[in-house]
Amino acid sequence: MPSLNHEKSLWQQGFLRVVGVDEVGMAALAGPVVAAACLVTPDVKLIRSVRDSKILTRLQREALVPQIRARVVAVGVGAASVAEIDRLNIYHASHVAMQRALRQIGEYDWVLVDGRRIVDPMFEPGRHTEIVKGDLKSFAIAAASIIAKVTRDKLMAALATKYPGYGWEHNCGYPTIDHRTALRALGVTPLHRSDFGTVRMLKLGEQLHLIAGLSPT
């Protein structure tokens, strides 16, 4: 269960405004990557049911969102578009989304980030700590993971009405069997990430088909 141990360690060092940050959608074939940030201070009270968003049901996550917003000092949400993912790559685009979420927070002293070591100038050295599987260990990160997941799931469900048939309302753009099958049957949409394997191969196939159709017989 996530605790406040990492946060307490920073509070004891004088870093009283600690932010947990997490992202959702890194491995999806379609849609933006979304990040959330949650600011906690020493008077925060733990929500015992907060966990890594991936091990909670949709209803559990949605029920926790108003509780989290009521307990933490501030919440920020940011996203990086498919165009940005294609241009920057998913690693850097996820950091863009995180920075956008952090900018909504306001002033803070330290950031706890879910994941491995960050080598990116967007993250100022000396003001953040990476925690592997942080959403299992830090309350602030776990809370952020829930906010990010609920936000992105709702966004993908809304986008599914614009691009029906891909199952985004339940697979959220991830490479499930039904999504891959729909990609082959319906083709690639503007919201599919060009640099991801399945999408890249399908786009290459479309280009080769077009070239073959234009070639003289």
For the full predicted model, state whether its pTM sits above 0.75.
Answer: yes
Residues 45-56 have pLDDT tens digits of 999 999 999 999
CA 70 – CA 103 distance, rounded (Å): 20
- The mean of the pLDDT values for the chain is 89
Give the confidence band of 195 by pLDDT, cuts at 50, 70, 90: confident
User: Strand, helix or coil at 49?
Assistant: coil
β-sheet bridge partners, residue 65: none
CA 199 – CA 195 distance, rounded (Å): 7
CATH 3.40.190.10 fits 5-162, yes or no: no
Q: Is the pLDDT of residue 217 over 50?
A: no
